Amino acid sequence: MKEAEDQSQGRKLLTAVERILSDTDSLIALAEQHLRKAREDKREASEEVVRYFSTRAAISGGLAAAPALIPGAGTLVAALGGALADMGFLLKYEVEMALVLSYLHGFDIRKDEERQLAFLLASVSTYDAKSGENALVDMAKAEGVAIWKYAPREVSKHLVSVMTKIALLQLSKGLVRALPLVGIAVGSSMNKVLTKRVGERCIRDLQTRREFLSTESARKEQEEEVVEARVRPPATKKSAAKKSAKAPARRAAGRKS
C-alpha cells in the first residue's frame, strides 16, 4: 500500500513536468541560437546551455519558497506543496536542458524515444546529485546493458521509479523552505548548483553515448564484412575457372592455325 502511494507521487510529478515542458521546436531554436553564438563550437554551446538553464532554475527556486512569507497557509504550501512545486519547475528546466544538449550532440529530439531518454537522463542526474547515489547506473551495470539500449517500456518503468525517489527525497528535505527569506536564498542557490551539476553530468553521459554508438556502428560494420567475406566465393576459384576456360580456346586456335 505504501509503495503504491509512493509511486503515485512519482507519477504525479512526472505528469506535471511533462505538461509544463516547452515545445520541441522552441528547444531546437534555443539550441541553434546558442550554437550560432558559440560559432558552431558544440562544446562551448553546451556549456552556455548549462549556464542558461541553471540561472532559470535558480529563479524558480526562489519563487517556490516565496509563499513562506505568508503566515499559516503560506508556510504549509512552502513546506509541502512548495517543495514539490519547486522540484517540478527544477525538473522542467533540467529536462529541457537535457533535450537541448541531446540535440547539440546530434540526437533527434523530435522522436519520442529520444525525449524519453533525455527525461530519464535528467531525472537520474538530478536524483544522483541530490542523494549522492547511483542507483540506476548501478542497475544498468548489473544488467550488463547501457541505459541507451533500454527498450521504451524499460525507460518508462525506470523513469517512474526515479521520479518516485525524487518526490520522496524532496518532501523529506522540503522543511527548510518553511523558513521565511532563508528558504528563498537556500532554494535559489541550491537549484543553481544542482542544475549545473546535472548539466555537466548530462554532457559527460551524452559524450559517452556518442562514443558507445560509434563503437557499436564500427563493430556492426566489421561483422557485416566478416559475413560478406564468408559467403563470397574465393577469388582463386574464379581465376582458376577462367584460366581453364581460356585454355581450350587457345588450343583450338592453335589447331586452326
Write the secondary structure of the chain as one string of H (helix), E (strand) and C (coil): CHHHHHHHHHHHHHHHHHHHCCCHHHHHHHHHHHHHHCCCCHHHHHHHHHHHHHHHHHHHHHHHHHHHHCCCHHHHHHHHHHHHHHHHHHHHHHHHHHHHHHHHCCCCCCCHHHHHHHHHHHHHHHHHHHHCCCHHHHHHHHHCCCHHHCCHHHHHHHHHHHHHHHHHHHHHHHHHHHCCCHHHHHHHHHHHHHHHHHHHHHHHHHHHHHHHHHHHHHHHHHHHHHHHHHHCCCHHHHHHHHHHHHHHHHHHHHHHC
Query: What span, in angstroms and rounded, lies between the C-alpha atoms of 48 and 77?
Result: 33
Predicted pLDDT at 6: 73
Predicted pLDDT at 157: 84
Averaged over successive runs of 10 residues, the pLDDT of the chain (257 residues) comes to: 73 84 95 94 95 88 51 40 70 94 96 92 84 61 60 82 82 51 55 89 90 77 64 55 51 50
Closest by Cα among 49, 152, 41 to 100 = 49
Query: What span, in angstroms and rounded, lies between the C-alpha atoms of 136 and 149?
Result: 14
Predicted pLDDT at 185: 47
* Measured CA angle at 83 (ends 200, 100), to 5 deg: 30
Helix axes 42-65, 82-104, angle to 10 degrees: 170
Listed in sequence order, the residues at least 6 apart from 195 whose beta carbon sits closer than 8 Å to its beta carbon are 50, 53, 54, 57, 58, 90, 93, 94, 97
- Find cell 577469388 and name the residue: 235
Question: Is the Cα torsion angle 189, 191, 192, 196 positive or negative in sign?
Answer: positive
Query: What span, in angstroms and rounded, lies between the C-alpha atoms of 219 and 237?
Result: 30
Predicted pLDDT at 62: 59
Predicted pLDDT at 144: 47
Predicted pLDDT at 152: 79
What phi-psi label fits residue 185: left (phi over 0), alpha (psi between -120 and 50 degrees) or beta?
Answer: alpha
Listed in sequence order, the residues at least 6 apart from 114 whose beta carbon sits closer than 8 Å to its beta carbon are 102, 107, 108
